[in-house]
Amino acid sequence: MIRFEPTVRGLLLTAGAVGLAWVVLKLAPVALVLVAALMLVGTLNPAVEALERRGLRRGYGIALVFSLVLAASAGVLAITIPSLIAQVASLVEQEPALRARLADWLSRSRLTESLAVSLRDVHYVALAKASANAALGYSSRFVETVAYLLSAVFLALYAMIDRDFLRGGLFALVPRTHHMRLSRVLLELETIVGGYIRGQALTSLAMAVFTGALLTACGVQNALALAVLAGVADVLPYVGVFLSVGPAVVAALPRGAVVVVLVLVLMLVYEEFESRFLVPRIYGKALKLPSSVVLFALLTGGTLLGITGALLALPAAAAAGMLLRELRVELPGEDVNDEAVRQGDALAEAEYERRVDGVPAEQAAAIAVAMSTDRQLETDAHGDDEHAAAGQPKA
Question: Are residues 106 and 191 located together in one domain of the fold?
Answer: no
Question: Are residues 130 and 45 located together in one domain of the fold?
Answer: yes
Question: Are residues 101 and 147 located together in one domain of the fold?
Answer: yes
238 Rama sector, left if φ>0, alpha if ψ -120 to 50, beta otherwise: left
> Taking each helix axis from N to C terminus, what angle separates 239-251 and 223-233, rounded to the nearest 10 degrees?
170
Q: Which of 200, 214, 213 is nearest to 287 (CA)?
A: 200
What pLDDT sits at residue 266? 93
User: Looking at 128, 161, 194, which one is the last position of a domain?
Assistant: 161
Question: Are residues 113 and 253 located together in one domain of the fold?
Answer: no
Question: Are residues 169 and 247 located together in one domain of the fold?
Answer: yes
Asked whether 264 and 225 are in contact (CB, 8 A), the reply is no
Residue 387 resides in a domain: no
Question: Are residues 146 and 214 located together in one domain of the fold?
Answer: no
User: Looking at 161, 190, 215, which one is the last position of a domain?
Assistant: 161
Question: Are residues 154 and 180 located together in one domain of the fold?
Answer: no
Sign of CA dihedral 324, 194, 343, 371: negative
> Which residues neighbour 349 within 8 Å (Cβ) at sequence distance 6 or greater?
177, 180
Spatial separation of the C-alpha atoms in residues 189 and 315, rounded to whole Å:
9
What pLDDT sits at residue 274? 87
Question: Are residues 129 and 214 located together in one domain of the fold?
Answer: no
Question: Are residues 137 and 267 located together in one domain of the fold?
Answer: no
Spatial separation of the C-alpha atoms in residues 175 and 368, rounded to whole Å:
13
Residue 17 resides in a domain: no
Question: Are residues 310 and 234 located together in one domain of the fold?
Answer: yes
What pLDDT sits at residue 336? 59
Sign of CA dihedral 102, 105, 107, 113: negative
Question: Are residues 169 and 270 located together in one domain of the fold?
Answer: yes
Residue 5 resides in a domain: no
What pLDDT sits at residue 304? 77
Planar angle of CA 158, 163, 164, nearest 5 degrees: 140
Residue 4 resides in a domain: no
pLDDT in tens, the chain (395 residues): 666 667 777 778 888 888 888 887 788 788 888 888 888 888 888 889 889 889 889 889 999 999 998 998 888 888 777 877 777 777 677 767 777 777 777 777 777 777 777 777 766 655 566 666 666 666 677 777 788 888 888 999 998 898 888 888 888 888 888 888 888 888 888 888 888 888 888 888 899 999 999 999 998 877 887 888 888 888 877 677 888 888 888 888 878 788 888 999 999 999 888 888 887 777 777 677 777 777 788 788 877 777 777 778 888 888 888 887 777 666 666 665 667 777 777 888 888 888 888 888 888 888 888 888 887 777 666 555 544 444 444 43
Residue 119 resides in a domain: yes
What pLDDT sits at residue 213? 92
Question: Are residues 80 and 170 located together in one domain of the fold?
Answer: no
Residue 393 resides in a domain: no
Residue 22 resides in a domain: no
Distances in Å between the Cα of 81 and the Cα atoms of 76, 201, 283 are 8, 20, 30
User: Looking at 143, 161, 179, which one is the last position of a domain?
Assistant: 161
**What is the span of the domain harbouring residue 261?**
163-328+340-382
Give the single-character DSSP code of 278: I
Residue 116 resides in a domain: yes
Amino acid at 380: D
Backbone angles phi, psi at 220, to 5 degrees: -80, 140
What pLDDT sits at residue 41? 87
Domain count, the chain: 2
